[in-house]
Amino acid sequence: MLWVIPKGLRPEENQIYKKLFEVVEHRKKKNQGPPHIVVITDIAKDVDDLVAMMLLKELHRLGLIVLEGFVANLKPENTRAALARGALNSLNLQNVPVAVGTDGTSNHYEVHDYEFNKCNFFPSGDDLKNIPQGSALLHRLCTKAKQEKRKLTFLLISSLRDIAEFASAAPDLMRDVTERIVFQGGYKVTETFATDIPVQLCIDMENSGHALGPYTRYAQTQMDLAFYKTACEPNPKDRFQPFMDQKWYLERKTSWCTTPHAPNERLPVGEEVVPYLTKLVAYDALAALGASGDDILDHLGISLPINGKKPLHQIIGHFGKPAVLNSRGEVKQKAIPDNPDINTRAMSQAIQALVLGSLLECMQNRN
């Protein structure tokens, strides 16, 4: 099944698969194995963790990565681990282990209704009884990798508490098996909002017939509404980030600003914004694809040219700066625009192809 392109994809999405098949061949010729990836996630907090899981599943099926395991953290961590177990089962990844991580934070975290509502893929029975603790799974995976003289890539798309505690408890083991660490979360991001993924992807996923599709579509809409509500708060301290106000949100997350309106028409309130929610923000899917290997990013045309040798520590996405004015209101220093550091169109196309293809393949090859 490795070389099968799922039916129902658009021509440009089929081309993504063909390019990925070429990467598989190139790696074979160079005797280069796939990266072995361990994921730490706060799945369901935002919909993009699940989108990242779908993408990783398809890369795993194609032989481009090996999924070693998932640790689910953030309160309620047991529920998140159960949801992750059910999602993996629905993606035919029953053999990929899931563990219960830490609560992720000492701060209060408010669980939103959309996180676990309409989730009809929770497992039951032995699947729930056999979920280990995150520290135990990390130790097991790292010990196995060391015994087999392999390296691991750690994809960290949630709280860093789990990996920090494990690295403190087993520093030598962590050092010996770490090939690469990819972080995403808790930062000012530019490449994510610059990567325009149409919400049509969620609609296509819902229409795929897979159980994850309707949940993702529902959670995406409700999550965006909750985000918009905080953006409309007059007090910057009450927003997700102080600078993420209503204007910022409408410009980056919706089609409101590019849609004609009557003169002096007021800004949308509450659910009035839903028709303009045309963009899927998928922070973690970008990081997931980035963890799959530089050769994939290069071959898909996602990476931008780098002068000289690639640095050991690389930051993808740099925040811009506003213009500086003098006392007379004249521009003293020009504004510096946000720089996503990637080909955002190519990244968007790859994510759309792999995520939709992931669900279609499951439906077309059910046991």
pLDDT surpassing 80 at residue 315: no
| Closest to 254 in 3D by CA, of 172, 314, 199 | 199
User: pLDDT confidence of 45, banded at 50, 70, 90?
Assistant: very high
User: pLDDT confidence of 185, banded at 50, 70, 90?
Assistant: low
Q: In the prediction, which pLDDT does 105 show? A: 82
Topology, domain 32-304+317-323+330-364:
Inosine-uridine Nucleoside N-ribohydrolase; Chain A (3.90.245)
pLDDT surpassing 60 at residue 311: no
Give pLDDT tens digits for 195-244.
Answer: 578 889 999 999 999 999 999 999 999 999 999 999 999 999 999 888 88
Q: What angle do CA 281, 179, 39 make, to 5 degrees?
A: 40
Q: What is the mean pLDDT of residues 47-66?
A: 97
pTM assigned to the model: 0.88
* Backbone torsions φ then ψ of 63, nearest 5 degrees: 80, 15
Give pLDDT tens digits for 234-292.
Answer: 999 999 888 889 998 998 889 999 999 988 899 999 999 999 998 887 878 988 999 99
List all residues 6 or more positions away from 176 whose beta carbon is below 8 Å from its beta carbon. Answer: 146
| Kind and range of the H or E run holding 84 | helix 77-90
pLDDT surpassing 90 at residue 134: yes
Task: For 304-348, give the DSSP string.
Answer: PP-SSSPPSS----B--B--EE-TTS-EEE--B--B--B-HHHHH
Residue with tokens 């590019």: 258
Q: Which residues pair with 156 in a beta bridge?
A: 40, 183
Q: What is the mean pLDDT of residues 182-189?
A: 62
